Amino acid sequence: LKRDSTTVSSNISFSTEGMARQRVTVLDETADFYQGEQDNILVWTQEDTLFYLDGPLSQEDLIDLAEHIRTMP
């Protein structure tokens, strides 16, 4: 995979209605953790990349998973 100088932009939206938000840290970056009744969401940026994890995992498990994700050079 080669990256060129083309700028790509996109929009993302997701509902956090009824979810409690908490600021957490992922690899020294501020992240948003949303706790729901069944699923939880973790959102953070690293360099120019936005990451979004959603599932029936605990805050600790989502952060652990997030800290093992790497962007490609």
What is the per-residue pLDDT across 29-64, written as a single tens digit (0 to 9) for each?
A: 999 999 999 999 999 998 888 899 999 999 999 999
Percent pLDDT > 90 in the chain is 59
pLDDT, position 8: 62
pLDDT, position 49: 86
Strand order across the beta sheet in which 20-26 lies:
20-26, 29-35, 40-46, 49-55
More confident residue, 51 or 7: 51
